[in-house]
Structure 1
Amino acid sequence: MAHIHLGEGSFPLWALVLWTLLGAGIVGAAVYRIRKGGIETHQIALAGIAAAASFAIFQLNIPVWGGIHMNLTGLVGIIAGPLLGALIALVVNIFSAALGHGAVGLLGANTLVNASEAIVAYYAFRTLLRMDWDVFPAGASAATIGLSAGAVLMGAVIVVSGVNGSALPRGDLTIAVGGLVGLNLGVAVIEGLLTGFIVRFLASVRPDLLGLADRDTHEEPTGVTA
Protein backbone atom coordinates (compact mmCIF):
# COMPACT_ATOMS: atom_id res chain seq x y z
CA MET A 1 0.00 0.00 0.00
CA ALA A 2 2.80 2.44 0.85
CA HIS A 3 4.90 3.46 -2.13
CA ILE A 4 7.34 6.28 -2.81
CA HIS A 5 5.94 8.16 -5.80
CA LEU A 6 8.97 10.29 -6.63
CA GLY A 7 10.78 10.66 -9.92
CA GLU A 8 14.31 9.73 -10.88
CA GLY A 9 16.95 11.79 -9.11
CA SER A 10 14.69 12.70 -6.20
CA PHE A 11 16.99 11.08 -3.63
CA PRO A 12 20.68 11.91 -3.17
CA LEU A 13 23.13 9.25 -4.31
CA TRP A 14 24.05 8.10 -0.79
CA ALA A 15 20.37 7.44 -0.03
CA LEU A 16 19.87 5.47 -3.24
CA VAL A 17 22.87 3.31 -2.40
CA LEU A 18 21.73 2.78 1.20
CA TRP A 19 18.15 1.76 0.39
CA THR A 20 19.26 -0.36 -2.57
CA LEU A 21 21.68 -2.28 -0.35
CA LEU A 22 19.06 -2.80 2.34
CA GLY A 23 16.45 -3.91 -0.20
CA ALA A 24 18.96 -6.25 -1.86
CA GLY A 25 19.87 -7.61 1.57
CA ILE A 26 16.26 -8.59 2.32
CA VAL A 27 15.81 -10.17 -1.12
CA GLY A 28 19.16 -11.95 -0.87
CA ALA A 29 18.29 -13.36 2.55
CA ALA A 30 14.93 -14.57 1.23
CA VAL A 31 16.52 -16.27 -1.78
CA TYR A 32 19.13 -17.92 0.44
CA ARG A 33 16.51 -19.29 2.84
CA ILE A 34 14.35 -20.54 -0.03
CA ARG A 35 17.28 -22.27 -1.72
CA LYS A 36 18.30 -23.81 1.57
CA GLY A 37 14.80 -25.00 2.51
CA GLY A 38 13.52 -25.83 -0.97
CA ILE A 39 10.26 -24.88 -2.59
CA GLU A 40 7.37 -26.92 -3.97
CA THR A 41 5.65 -26.45 -7.32
CA HIS A 42 2.34 -25.34 -5.83
CA GLN A 43 4.15 -22.65 -3.87
CA ILE A 44 5.59 -21.23 -7.10
CA ALA A 45 2.11 -21.19 -8.65
CA LEU A 46 0.70 -19.52 -5.55
CA ALA A 47 3.42 -16.89 -5.61
CA GLY A 48 2.68 -16.17 -9.28
CA ILE A 49 -1.03 -15.70 -8.60
CA ALA A 50 -0.32 -13.49 -5.60
CA ALA A 51 2.13 -11.37 -7.59
CA ALA A 52 -0.36 -10.94 -10.44
CA ALA A 53 -3.17 -9.90 -8.09
CA SER A 54 -0.92 -7.49 -6.22
CA PHE A 55 0.42 -5.94 -9.43
CA ALA A 56 -3.07 -5.53 -10.92
CA ILE A 57 -4.57 -3.68 -7.96
CA PHE A 58 -1.31 -1.77 -7.47
CA GLN A 59 -1.87 0.03 -10.78
CA LEU A 60 -5.19 1.52 -9.64
CA ASN A 61 -3.85 4.82 -8.37
CA ILE A 62 -5.95 7.39 -6.54
CA PRO A 63 -4.45 10.83 -7.32
CA VAL A 64 -4.56 12.17 -3.77
CA TRP A 65 -1.49 13.78 -2.16
CA GLY A 66 1.00 12.25 -4.57
CA GLY A 67 -1.01 9.07 -5.13
CA ILE A 68 -2.39 6.34 -2.87
CA HIS A 69 -3.51 2.84 -3.71
CA MET A 70 -3.82 -0.71 -2.45
CA ASN A 71 -1.42 -3.51 -3.30
CA LEU A 72 -2.53 -6.41 -1.06
CA THR A 73 0.97 -6.92 0.36
CA GLY A 74 -0.55 -7.81 3.73
CA LEU A 75 -2.61 -10.56 2.10
CA VAL A 76 0.43 -11.67 0.07
CA GLY A 77 2.45 -12.06 3.26
CA ILE A 78 -0.31 -13.98 5.04
CA ILE A 79 -0.75 -16.42 2.16
CA ALA A 80 2.74 -16.75 0.67
CA GLY A 81 4.82 -16.26 3.81
CA PRO A 82 7.56 -13.73 4.55
CA LEU A 83 10.18 -15.14 2.16
CA LEU A 84 8.06 -15.42 -0.96
CA GLY A 85 6.30 -12.22 0.12
CA ALA A 86 9.58 -10.32 -0.08
CA LEU A 87 10.30 -11.69 -3.57
CA ILE A 88 6.78 -10.85 -4.72
CA ALA A 89 7.29 -7.28 -3.50
CA LEU A 90 10.43 -7.05 -5.65
CA VAL A 91 8.71 -8.46 -8.75
CA VAL A 92 5.70 -6.15 -8.41
CA ASN A 93 7.93 -3.12 -8.02
CA ILE A 94 10.08 -4.08 -11.01
CA PHE A 95 7.07 -4.41 -13.31
CA SER A 96 5.50 -1.25 -11.88
CA ALA A 97 8.69 0.75 -12.45
CA ALA A 98 8.80 -0.56 -16.02
CA LEU A 99 5.38 1.01 -16.55
CA GLY A 100 6.47 4.29 -15.02
CA HIS A 101 4.81 3.66 -11.66
CA GLY A 102 7.71 4.55 -9.40
CA ALA A 103 11.30 5.43 -10.26
CA VAL A 104 13.73 2.65 -11.17
CA GLY A 105 16.27 4.17 -8.80
CA LEU A 106 13.81 3.73 -5.93
CA LEU A 107 13.37 -0.02 -6.45
CA GLY A 108 15.45 -0.77 -3.38
CA ALA A 109 13.53 1.63 -1.16
CA ASN A 110 10.11 0.54 -2.39
CA THR A 111 10.99 -3.14 -2.16
CA LEU A 112 12.19 -2.56 1.40
CA VAL A 113 8.90 -0.85 2.27
CA ASN A 114 6.60 -3.40 0.63
CA ALA A 115 8.55 -6.45 1.79
CA SER A 116 8.29 -5.15 5.36
CA GLU A 117 4.50 -5.00 4.96
CA ALA A 118 4.32 -8.65 3.90
CA ILE A 119 6.74 -9.83 6.59
CA VAL A 120 5.09 -7.95 9.45
CA ALA A 121 1.59 -9.01 8.32
CA TYR A 122 2.60 -12.68 8.21
CA TYR A 123 4.08 -12.77 11.70
CA ALA A 124 1.25 -10.65 13.14
CA PHE A 125 -1.30 -13.07 11.66
CA ARG A 126 0.45 -16.14 13.07
CA THR A 127 0.80 -14.47 16.48
CA LEU A 128 -2.89 -13.55 16.62
CA LEU A 129 -3.93 -17.07 15.62
CA ARG A 130 -1.82 -18.49 18.44
CA MET A 131 -3.71 -16.13 20.75
CA ASP A 132 -6.96 -17.85 19.62
CA TRP A 133 -8.22 -14.94 17.52
CA ASP A 134 -10.81 -15.76 14.90
CA VAL A 135 -9.60 -15.72 11.29
CA PHE A 136 -11.34 -12.51 10.24
CA PRO A 137 -10.08 -10.19 13.01
CA ALA A 138 -6.65 -11.83 12.85
CA GLY A 139 -6.38 -11.25 9.10
CA ALA A 140 -7.76 -7.72 9.21
CA SER A 141 -5.58 -6.69 12.15
CA ALA A 142 -2.43 -8.34 10.79
CA ALA A 143 -2.81 -6.67 7.40
CA THR A 144 -3.49 -3.29 9.01
CA ILE A 145 -0.43 -3.65 11.24
CA GLY A 146 1.78 -4.68 8.33
CA LEU A 147 0.57 -1.89 6.06
CA SER A 148 0.91 0.65 8.85
CA ALA A 149 4.50 -0.45 9.41
CA GLY A 150 5.18 0.04 5.71
CA ALA A 151 3.60 3.50 5.72
CA VAL A 152 5.72 4.62 8.66
CA LEU A 153 8.85 3.15 7.05
CA MET A 154 8.04 4.93 3.79
CA GLY A 155 7.79 8.24 5.63
CA ALA A 156 11.06 7.60 7.47
CA VAL A 157 12.86 6.79 4.21
CA ILE A 158 11.74 10.06 2.61
CA VAL A 159 12.55 12.21 5.64
CA VAL A 160 15.95 10.60 6.21
CA SER A 161 16.86 10.85 2.53
CA GLY A 162 15.54 14.31 1.83
CA VAL A 163 14.27 15.31 -1.61
CA ASN A 164 16.58 16.89 -4.15
CA GLY A 165 15.29 20.20 -5.44
CA SER A 166 12.68 20.58 -2.71
CA ALA A 167 12.30 24.11 -1.33
CA LEU A 168 10.90 22.75 1.94
CA PRO A 169 13.21 22.77 4.96
CA ARG A 170 13.59 19.41 6.72
CA GLY A 171 11.02 20.32 9.39
CA ASP A 172 8.34 21.28 6.86
CA LEU A 173 9.17 18.19 4.79
CA THR A 174 8.62 16.05 7.88
CA ILE A 175 5.20 17.63 8.44
CA ALA A 176 4.19 17.10 4.80
CA VAL A 177 5.37 13.50 4.83
CA GLY A 178 3.59 12.99 8.15
CA GLY A 179 0.32 13.98 6.46
CA LEU A 180 0.98 11.49 3.68
CA VAL A 181 1.74 8.75 6.21
CA GLY A 182 -1.48 9.55 8.07
CA LEU A 183 -3.47 9.26 4.86
CA ASN A 184 -1.86 5.90 4.13
CA LEU A 185 -2.67 4.71 7.65
CA GLY A 186 -6.34 5.39 6.92
CA VAL A 187 -6.11 3.40 3.69
CA ALA A 188 -4.36 0.64 5.65
CA VAL A 189 -7.48 0.17 7.78
CA ILE A 190 -9.67 -0.12 4.67
CA GLU A 191 -7.31 -2.59 3.00
CA GLY A 192 -6.99 -4.46 6.29
CA LEU A 193 -10.76 -4.99 6.44
CA LEU A 194 -10.78 -6.17 2.82
CA THR A 195 -7.95 -8.57 3.62
CA GLY A 196 -9.89 -9.88 6.61
CA PHE A 197 -12.87 -10.77 4.42
CA ILE A 198 -10.63 -12.48 1.86
CA VAL A 199 -8.81 -14.44 4.56
CA ARG A 200 -12.09 -15.55 6.11
CA PHE A 201 -13.34 -16.72 2.71
CA LEU A 202 -10.12 -18.64 2.04
CA ALA A 203 -10.31 -20.22 5.48
CA SER A 204 -13.73 -21.62 4.62
CA VAL A 205 -12.91 -22.96 1.14
CA ARG A 206 -9.12 -23.49 1.07
CA PRO A 207 -7.76 -23.49 4.64
CA ASP A 208 -4.55 -25.11 3.36
CA LEU A 209 -3.63 -21.82 1.67
CA LEU A 210 -3.50 -20.24 5.12
CA GLY A 211 -1.75 -23.16 6.79
CA LEU A 212 -4.95 -24.12 8.62
CA ALA A 213 -6.25 -27.67 8.94
CA ASP A 214 -9.70 -26.18 9.52
CA ARG A 215 -11.24 -23.03 10.93
CA ASP A 216 -10.63 -24.14 14.49
CA THR A 217 -7.15 -25.64 14.14
CA HIS A 218 -4.13 -23.41 13.69
CA GLU A 219 -1.08 -25.10 12.24
CA GLU A 220 2.19 -23.80 10.85
CA PRO A 221 1.96 -23.32 7.07
CA THR A 222 3.55 -25.82 4.74
CA GLY A 223 4.83 -22.97 2.56
CA VAL A 224 8.25 -21.39 2.66
CA THR A 225 8.56 -19.27 5.78
CA ALA A 226 11.33 -17.71 7.77
Structure 2
Amino acid sequence: MAHIHLGEGSFPLWALALWTTISVALIGTVLYRVRTNGVKTRQIALAGIGAAASFAIFQLNISVWGGVHMNLTGLVGILAGPLLGSLIALVVNIFSAALGHGAIGLLGANTLVNASEAIVAYYAFRMLLRLDWDVFPASASAAILGLSVGAILMGAIVVISGVNGSALPRSDLTIAVAGMVAINLGVAVVEGLLTGLIVQFLASIRPDLVGIADSTEHKVSAGVTL
Protein backbone atom coordinates (compact mmCIF):
# COMPACT_ATOMS: atom_id res chain seq x y z
CA MET A 1 0.00 0.00 0.00
CA ALA A 2 2.69 2.52 1.02
CA HIS A 3 5.36 3.22 -1.57
CA ILE A 4 7.92 5.97 -2.08
CA HIS A 5 7.08 7.48 -5.47
CA LEU A 6 10.23 9.53 -6.05
CA GLY A 7 12.57 9.54 -9.01
CA GLU A 8 16.18 8.47 -9.25
CA GLY A 9 18.54 10.69 -7.29
CA SER A 10 15.83 11.94 -4.93
CA PHE A 11 17.61 10.62 -1.84
CA PRO A 12 21.16 11.58 -0.87
CA LEU A 13 23.78 8.87 -1.27
CA TRP A 14 24.11 8.20 2.47
CA ALA A 15 20.36 7.54 2.73
CA LEU A 16 20.39 5.15 -0.22
CA ALA A 17 23.30 3.27 1.36
CA LEU A 18 21.56 3.15 4.76
CA TRP A 19 18.18 1.83 3.58
CA THR A 20 19.79 -0.57 1.11
CA THR A 21 22.06 -1.99 3.81
CA ILE A 22 19.17 -2.52 6.23
CA SER A 23 17.10 -4.10 3.46
CA VAL A 24 19.92 -6.47 2.48
CA ALA A 25 20.32 -7.47 6.14
CA LEU A 26 16.59 -8.17 6.40
CA ILE A 27 16.41 -10.22 3.20
CA GLY A 28 19.61 -12.04 4.13
CA THR A 29 18.09 -13.03 7.47
CA VAL A 30 14.90 -14.16 5.73
CA LEU A 31 16.82 -16.31 3.24
CA TYR A 32 18.86 -17.86 6.04
CA ARG A 33 15.74 -18.78 7.98
CA VAL A 34 14.03 -20.17 4.88
CA ARG A 35 17.09 -22.28 4.09
CA THR A 36 17.40 -23.46 7.70
CA ASN A 37 13.76 -24.11 8.56
CA GLY A 38 12.21 -24.62 5.15
CA VAL A 39 8.68 -23.65 4.16
CA LYS A 40 5.46 -25.57 3.75
CA THR A 41 4.38 -26.53 0.24
CA ARG A 42 1.08 -24.68 0.61
CA GLN A 43 2.98 -21.51 1.52
CA ILE A 44 5.00 -21.69 -1.70
CA ALA A 45 1.84 -22.02 -3.78
CA LEU A 46 0.18 -19.17 -1.91
CA ALA A 47 3.32 -17.07 -2.30
CA GLY A 48 3.19 -17.41 -6.09
CA ILE A 49 -0.48 -16.46 -6.22
CA GLY A 50 0.04 -13.65 -3.74
CA ALA A 51 2.98 -12.22 -5.66
CA ALA A 52 1.01 -12.19 -8.91
CA ALA A 53 -2.03 -10.56 -7.29
CA SER A 54 0.09 -8.02 -5.43
CA PHE A 55 2.03 -7.05 -8.55
CA ALA A 56 -1.12 -6.70 -10.65
CA ILE A 57 -3.01 -4.46 -8.23
CA PHE A 58 0.20 -2.57 -7.41
CA GLN A 59 0.27 -1.15 -10.93
CA LEU A 60 -3.13 0.55 -10.54
CA ASN A 61 -1.94 3.93 -9.35
CA ILE A 62 -4.20 6.82 -8.30
CA SER A 63 -2.46 10.14 -8.88
CA VAL A 64 -3.23 11.71 -5.51
CA TRP A 65 -0.46 13.41 -3.51
CA GLY A 66 2.37 11.56 -5.23
CA GLY A 67 0.34 8.44 -5.97
CA VAL A 68 -1.56 5.93 -3.82
CA HIS A 69 -2.59 2.37 -4.54
CA MET A 70 -3.24 -1.00 -2.96
CA ASN A 71 -0.72 -3.82 -3.05
CA LEU A 72 -2.24 -6.50 -0.77
CA THR A 73 0.92 -6.91 1.30
CA GLY A 74 -1.19 -7.45 4.42
CA LEU A 75 -3.00 -10.31 2.68
CA VAL A 76 0.30 -11.71 1.39
CA GLY A 77 1.75 -11.69 4.89
CA ILE A 78 -1.29 -13.41 6.41
CA LEU A 79 -1.36 -16.16 3.77
CA ALA A 80 2.32 -16.71 2.94
CA GLY A 81 3.88 -15.81 6.29
CA PRO A 82 6.48 -13.19 7.23
CA LEU A 83 9.42 -14.84 5.48
CA LEU A 84 7.88 -15.41 2.06
CA GLY A 85 5.93 -12.18 2.50
CA SER A 86 9.19 -10.24 2.73
CA LEU A 87 10.57 -11.98 -0.36
CA ILE A 88 7.37 -11.19 -2.27
CA ALA A 89 7.73 -7.54 -1.30
CA LEU A 90 11.24 -7.55 -2.77
CA VAL A 91 10.18 -9.29 -6.00
CA VAL A 92 7.15 -7.04 -6.55
CA ASN A 93 9.30 -3.94 -6.04
CA ILE A 94 11.97 -5.20 -8.44
CA PHE A 95 9.47 -5.87 -11.22
CA SER A 96 7.64 -2.62 -10.53
CA ALA A 97 10.87 -0.61 -10.69
CA ALA A 98 11.71 -2.33 -13.97
CA LEU A 99 8.42 -0.97 -15.35
CA GLY A 100 9.17 2.53 -14.07
CA HIS A 101 6.95 2.30 -10.99
CA GLY A 102 9.41 3.48 -8.37
CA ALA A 103 13.10 4.28 -8.61
CA ILE A 104 15.60 1.42 -8.72
CA GLY A 105 17.71 3.27 -6.16
CA LEU A 106 14.80 3.16 -3.72
CA LEU A 107 14.40 -0.63 -3.86
CA GLY A 108 15.92 -0.98 -0.42
CA ALA A 109 13.67 1.61 1.19
CA ASN A 110 10.50 0.37 -0.51
CA THR A 111 11.27 -3.25 0.32
CA LEU A 112 11.62 -2.30 3.98
CA VAL A 113 8.28 -0.51 3.87
CA ASN A 114 6.36 -3.32 2.19
CA ALA A 115 8.07 -6.15 4.08
CA SER A 116 7.15 -4.46 7.36
CA GLU A 117 3.50 -4.46 6.27
CA ALA A 118 3.53 -8.21 5.59
CA ILE A 119 5.42 -9.06 8.79
CA VAL A 120 3.25 -6.96 11.12
CA ALA A 121 0.02 -8.18 9.48
CA TYR A 122 1.02 -11.83 9.91
CA TYR A 123 1.92 -11.62 13.59
CA ALA A 124 -1.04 -9.38 14.41
CA PHE A 125 -3.41 -11.84 12.72
CA ARG A 126 -1.98 -14.81 14.65
CA MET A 127 -2.15 -12.90 17.93
CA LEU A 128 -5.78 -11.89 17.38
CA LEU A 129 -6.75 -15.47 16.51
CA ARG A 130 -5.18 -16.63 19.78
CA LEU A 131 -7.38 -14.05 21.52
CA ASP A 132 -10.41 -15.81 19.92
CA TRP A 133 -11.23 -13.07 17.43
CA ASP A 134 -13.32 -14.13 14.44
CA VAL A 135 -11.49 -14.41 11.13
CA PHE A 136 -12.87 -11.26 9.49
CA PRO A 137 -12.15 -8.73 12.25
CA ALA A 138 -8.79 -10.40 12.98
CA SER A 139 -7.57 -10.31 9.38
CA ALA A 140 -9.00 -6.87 8.63
CA SER A 141 -7.53 -5.35 11.79
CA ALA A 142 -4.18 -7.07 11.23
CA ALA A 143 -3.97 -5.81 7.66
CA ILE A 144 -4.91 -2.27 8.68
CA LEU A 145 -2.26 -2.33 11.42
CA GLY A 146 0.42 -3.67 9.07
CA LEU A 147 -0.39 -1.17 6.35
CA SER A 148 -0.45 1.67 8.86
CA VAL A 149 3.01 0.70 10.10
CA GLY A 150 4.22 0.69 6.50
CA ALA A 151 2.74 4.13 5.81
CA ILE A 152 4.34 5.63 8.91
CA LEU A 153 7.68 3.98 8.11
CA MET A 154 7.49 5.35 4.58
CA GLY A 155 6.96 8.87 5.91
CA ALA A 156 9.78 8.50 8.42
CA ILE A 157 12.20 7.33 5.72
CA VAL A 158 11.42 10.33 3.51
CA VAL A 159 11.72 12.83 6.37
CA ILE A 160 14.95 11.30 7.70
CA SER A 161 16.50 11.12 4.23
CA GLY A 162 15.36 14.47 2.88
CA VAL A 163 14.75 15.07 -0.81
CA ASN A 164 17.51 16.33 -3.08
CA GLY A 165 16.58 19.55 -4.89
CA SER A 166 13.63 20.29 -2.60
CA ALA A 167 13.33 23.92 -1.48
CA LEU A 168 11.20 22.94 1.51
CA PRO A 169 12.82 23.20 4.94
CA ARG A 170 12.69 20.00 7.00
CA SER A 171 9.68 21.22 9.03
CA ASP A 172 7.61 21.92 5.90
CA LEU A 173 8.71 18.62 4.36
CA THR A 174 7.50 16.84 7.49
CA ILE A 175 4.08 18.50 7.19
CA ALA A 176 3.81 17.57 3.51
CA VAL A 177 4.83 13.97 4.20
CA ALA A 178 2.34 13.80 7.10
CA GLY A 179 -0.44 14.62 4.64
CA MET A 180 0.74 11.84 2.34
CA VAL A 181 0.85 9.39 5.25
CA ALA A 182 -2.68 10.39 6.30
CA ILE A 183 -4.01 9.59 2.84
CA ASN A 184 -2.26 6.22 2.91
CA LEU A 185 -3.78 5.48 6.30
CA GLY A 186 -7.21 6.04 4.77
CA VAL A 187 -6.39 3.65 1.94
CA ALA A 188 -5.15 1.17 4.57
CA VAL A 189 -8.65 0.95 6.01
CA VAL A 190 -10.15 0.16 2.60
CA GLU A 191 -7.47 -2.41 1.79
CA GLY A 192 -7.79 -3.90 5.28
CA LEU A 193 -11.52 -4.46 4.86
CA LEU A 194 -10.93 -6.05 1.46
CA THR A 195 -8.27 -8.30 3.00
CA GLY A 196 -10.71 -9.32 5.72
CA LEU A 197 -13.33 -10.35 3.17
CA ILE A 198 -10.81 -12.39 1.17
CA VAL A 199 -9.41 -14.17 4.23
CA GLN A 200 -12.89 -14.87 5.57
CA PHE A 201 -13.90 -16.41 2.23
CA LEU A 202 -10.76 -18.56 2.11
CA ALA A 203 -11.30 -19.66 5.70
CA SER A 204 -14.85 -20.76 4.89
CA ILE A 205 -13.76 -23.09 2.07
CA ARG A 206 -10.13 -23.94 2.90
CA PRO A 207 -9.31 -23.07 6.52
CA ASP A 208 -5.91 -24.74 6.12
CA LEU A 209 -4.88 -21.98 3.71
CA VAL A 210 -5.03 -19.43 6.50
CA GLY A 211 -3.61 -21.76 9.14
CA ILE A 212 -6.89 -22.23 10.99
CA ALA A 213 -7.16 -25.98 10.44
CA ASP A 214 -4.01 -26.60 12.45
CA SER A 215 -5.35 -24.79 15.53
CA THR A 216 -8.73 -26.49 15.13
CA GLU A 217 -7.15 -29.95 15.06
CA HIS A 218 -5.10 -29.08 18.13
CA LYS A 219 -8.23 -28.10 20.08
CA VAL A 220 -10.04 -31.27 19.03
CA SER A 221 -7.10 -33.46 20.07
CA ALA A 222 -7.06 -31.67 23.42
CA GLY A 223 -10.71 -32.62 23.97
CA VAL A 224 -12.19 -29.18 23.32
CA THR A 225 -15.64 -29.19 21.74
CA LEU A 226 -15.94 -26.64 18.95
TM-score range relative to shorter protein: over 0.9
Q: CA deviation at 1:43?
A: 2.8
- List aligned pairs for 1:1-226, cutoff 5 A: 1-213=1-213
* Letter in structure 2 aligned against 1:134: D
Distance verdict in 2 for CA 1:36–1:180, change over 3 Å = same
* TM-score, length of structure 1 as denominator length: 0.94
CA contact (8 A) 2:43 2:81 kept: no
CA contact (8 A) 2:136 2:196 kept: yes
Higher helix share: 2
Distance verdict in 2 for CA 1:13–1:205, change over 3 Å = same
CA contact (8 A) 2:44 2:80 kept: no
- Structure 2's unaligned 5+ residue stretches are 220-226
* Letter in structure 2 aligned against 1:105: G
1:11-48, CA deviations, whole angstroms, 9 ceiling, x for partnerless residues? 00000000001111111111000000123444322211
1:151-190, CA deviations, whole angstroms, 9 ceiling, x for partnerless residues? 0000000000000000100000000000000000000000
Deviates more, 1:108-117 or 1:45-54: 45-54
- Structure 1's unaligned 5+ residue stretches are 220-226
Q: Distance in 2 between matches of 1:140 and 1:123?
A: 13
CA contact (8 A) 2:43 2:79 kept: no
1:97-117, CA deviations, whole angstroms, 9 ceiling, x for partnerless residues? 000000000000000000000
Q: Give runs of ≥4 in structure 1 deviating > 4 Å.
A: 214-219
Aligned positions, number: 219
CA contact (8 A) 1:54 1:92 kept: yes
1:96-142, CA deviations, whole angstroms, 9 ceiling, x for partnerless residues? 00000000000000000000000000000000000000000000000
1:222 corresponds to? none
Q: Distance in 2 between matches of 1:183 and 1:23?
A: 25
* TM-score, length of structure 2 as denominator length: 0.94
CA contact (8 A) 2:42 2:209 kept: no
How many percent identity over aligned positions?
78
Q: CA deviation at 1:203?
A: 0.4
